[in-house]
Amino acid sequence: MKKLSLLTALLFCALFSLNALAADMPKAGTAAPAFSLQNQHGKAISFADFKDKWIVLYFYPKDFTSGCSLQAHNFQEDEAKYTAKNAVILGVSTDSPESHKEFCAKEGLSFMLLADTDKKVSELYGSTLNLGLTVVSARNTFLIDPKGIIRKTYDDVDPARHSEEVLADLAVLQAK
C-alpha cells in the first residue's frame, strides 16, 4: 500500500509540475529565447546559427526510451520534407553530448541533438518535468520562423504522430 501511495504522489507531482511549467512556455507570436548548447559532437550550437531557416525545436525526456526513440525516428523519416521546407530539426534533452552521440548512432539519426545538462534552456522554454528525484525536459515543441518568432507551440505531444502534425502546421504557416 505504501508503494502505491508513493507512486501516486510522485505521479501527481510530475503531472502538477508539467501543468505548472506549461504555463511558463513562451507563447506563439513572441520572440524565441536565444540559446547555445553542445550538440552530439560537442560543438556549440546557437539559435543564431539558423537565421533564415524555420526551426523545429523539440524537447524530449530521455535518450534510449521508447517514446523518445519513436519521436526521433519519425522526425528522421521526415527530415527530407523539413529540409525541402527550409526547416531544421533540433532535439533537446538533459542528456549529455556523449549520450546523444550514442543515441544518434544506435537510432540512425542525422539531425542535431542538443545537450541541456544544466536544464537552463529547458527552463527558459518552460519545458521541464520534475519527476521527484530528477528533472528532465518535457515533451514540448516550438515551431520558430526565420525571423526568430515562435509561430506554434505544442505541449505534451504524442510522439507517434507529432512529426506529421508539425509538417502540416509548417505548410499552413508557410502558405500565409
- Catalytic annotation, residues: 68
* Residue 121 CB coordination number (10 Å): 24
Cell representation of residue 26: 513562451
Cell representation of residue 3: 508503494
Cell representation of residue 73: 525516428
User: Residue 122's closest CA among 97, 105, 140?
Assistant: 140
